[in-house]
Amino acid sequence: MATATGVVTASIVEQFKRIIGNDFVVADEESLHKYGKDETENLLYLPAVVVKPKTAAEISAILKICNEHLLPVTPRGAGTGLTGGALPHLGGVLLSTERLHQILDIDERNLQVTTEPGVITEVLQNAVKEKGLFYPPDPASKGSCFIGGNISENSGGPKAVKYGVVKDYVLNLEVVLASGEIIWTGSNVLKNATGYNLTQLIVGSEGTLGIVTKIVLRLIPHPKFDLLMLAPFNSLEKASEAVSAIFRAGITPSAMELMEIDAITLATKMLDSSAVPLTDGLAAHLIIEVDGNNLDVLMHEMEAISEVLNSYEVGEIYFAEDAEQKNELWKIRRKANEASVMAGYTIEEDAVVPRAELPKLIRGVKEIAANNGFKVVCYGHAGDGNLHIRINHPTIKNSYNNSEMTAALMPLFELIASLGGTISGEHGVGLIQKPFLKTVFSETHLRLMRSIKKTFDPNNILNAGKIFDLESH
């Protein structure tokens, strides 16, 4: 089965306008450029047309037309992705979910929220917090990314180490299939052993199986207290070794972030912040948070963490005294990606390994960079072994379709696989990681995935060419 290659004609555009209105079907140059890129490297692919439906019924009508005419469809949320999942590399129709932006219901009795996909993640978090409830997944882009995009990529964030990732909170999804059929994937219940788990199949599928139009998430009570420390190290490896040691001591922080000194320096410079003391000889910091409902217990945990860190050559530990200081430290961490990109680190890899293997991964990353003549800066969710590796190559700024960079990166992914890890922790596969899937998946794995794709989308119109190519086997 080949990729859909139909052409968007003037007649089809008119049909779209009749469905959703003239104002929500756009093809002007400015709009096409806006929707032709996301946060992935320096890539740009222009769609033929952008459609902005408001309801599942409108999306259904649009997909029926696209399926009939074999038009490639690229679903898009906020466009904050880092692997090209929302790039319309085949042209065709770019379907934005930005108008599906309502929180439909906060069910305080059952600790659930029903939302549309175009709601900004932080907006949803704040809305449920007002009810004393907590939605933990918190990607760095939570102030701009959509909850629907988080579903598509199975996003995580700093709190994943204690609370898990998006998949751990999704109960049920309304999905429009490529055929235009509308289904609910499950039920709004905590336990469900009724048939295959279609809900979890959709989570992380990157818009290749259907378009999510409603989301039911489970919530938990919001913790009353949190404490935050900043721990400096003169050795990046010592910092990464300390991570596993904290868990072995029986402590599970609510967040544990690793930032190499270059990442901190770039972020603090960008923000003009003095929150992090930058002394000579520093190699990295750990940002460690604990949360819960008993302040005395949390104080004891912080003391115990400090004792563990002392065995790993930690410097003077800094404790955030109030909400303002905590927010400042988190702001620095969340700006690491943007600051790195602005400094020329345009290529990003999202590796994850068992947390005890982080030192080996970091050593390997540095060796690969030295052998290939590029610079790297590392940061990420050390508590769950998830390392973001930013690459600044002197001449290559896009890894996609670049044979030299692909060859340079292959040893990195082979190392990750040998450590029992995988090539994407929370950013998905998209276009960027597609060439490396065979380092972690057998052909049997890929055949099963292709079969699932064909069942959901026989004409291969939904985000074709993402994750894998159907026609390549």
Over residues 177-190, the pLDDT tens digits come to 999 999 999 999 99
CATH of domain 103-221: 3.30.465.10
- Domain 10-99+452-472 - what CATH class? alpha beta
Alpha carbon 308 to its chain's center:
31
The whole-number average pLDDT for the span 196-206 is 98
The whole-number average pLDDT for the span 58-67 is 98
> pLDDT class for 473, splitting at 50, 70, 90?
very low
The whole-number average pLDDT for the span 82-110 is 98
Residue 472 has pLDDT above 80, yes or no: no
Instruction: Decide: residue 68, CB within 10 A, 0-12 exposed, 13-18 middle, 19+ buried.
Output: middle
What are residue 50's DSSP bridge partners? 26, 94
What is the pLDDT, as a whole number, of residue 276? Answer: 87
Q: What is the pLDDT of residues 132-168, one digit of tens each?
A: 999 999 999 999 999 999 999 999 999 999 999 999 9
CATH of domain 343-442: 3.30.70.2740
250-267: b or e for each residue (b if 16 or more CB lie within 10 Å)?
ebebbbbbbbbbbbbbbb
Q: What is the pLDDT of residues 409-450, one digit of tens each?
A: 999 999 999 999 999 999 999 999 999 999 999 999 999 999
Q: What is the 3-state secondary structure (H, E, C) of the chain?
A: CCCCCCCCCHHHHHHHHHHHCHHHEECCHHHHHHHCCCCCCCCCCCCCEEECCCCHHHHHHHHHHHHHHCCCEEEECCCCCCCCCCCCCCCCEEEECCCCCCEEEEECCCCEEEECCCCEHHHHHHHHHCCCEECCCCCCCCCCCEHHHHHHHCCCCCCHHHHCCHHHCEEEEEEECCCCCEEECCCCCCCCCCCCCHHHHHCCCCCCCCEEEEEEEECEECCCEEEEEEEEECCHHHHHHHHHHHHHCCCCCCEEEEEEHHHHHHHHHHHCCCCCCCCCCCCEEEEEEEEECCHHHHHHHHHHHHHHHHHHCECCCEECCCHHHHHHHHHHHHCHHHHHHHCCCCEEEEEECCHHHHHHHHHHHHHHHHHHCCEEEEEEEHHHCEEEEEEECCCCCCCCCCHHHHHHHHHHHHHHHHCCCECECCCCCCCCCHHHHHHCCCHHHHHHHHHHHHHHCCCCCECCCCCCCHHHC
| Residues 6 or more apart whose Cβ sits within 8 Å of residue 330 | 158, 287
Which residue reads 């999942």 in tokens? Answer: 85
Q: What is the pLDDT of residues 303-329, one digit of tens each?
A: 999 999 999 999 999 999 999 999 999
What is the pLDDT, as a whole number, of residue 5? Answer: 79
Query: Nearest Cα to 223, choosing from 294, 289, 164?
Result: 294
What is the pLDDT, as a whole number, of residue 2? Answer: 57
The whole-number average pLDDT for the span 386-406 is 96
Residue 14 has pLDDT above 60, yes or no: yes
Tell me if 227 sits within 8 A of 319, measured CB to CB: yes
R_g of the chain, CA atoms, integer Å: 22
Residue 464 has pLDDT above 50, yes or no: yes
Number of residues that make up the chain: 473
Topology alike, domains 225-337 and 343-442: yes
Q: What is the pLDDT of residues 15-58, one digit of tens each?
A: 999 999 999 999 999 999 999 999 999 999 999 999 999 999 99
Q: What is the pLDDT of residues 247-300, one digit of tens each?
A: 999 999 999 999 999 999 999 999 999 888 888 899 999 999 999 999 999 999
CATH of domain 225-337: 3.30.70.2190
Residue 1 has pLDDT above 80, yes or no: no
> pLDDT class for 340, splitting at 50, 70, 90?
very high
- pTM of the predicted model as reported, rounded to 2 decimal places: 0.94
- Domain boundary assignment for the chain: 10-99+452-472, 103-221, 225-337, 343-442
Average pLDDT score over the chain: 96
The whole-number average pLDDT for the span 342-370 is 95
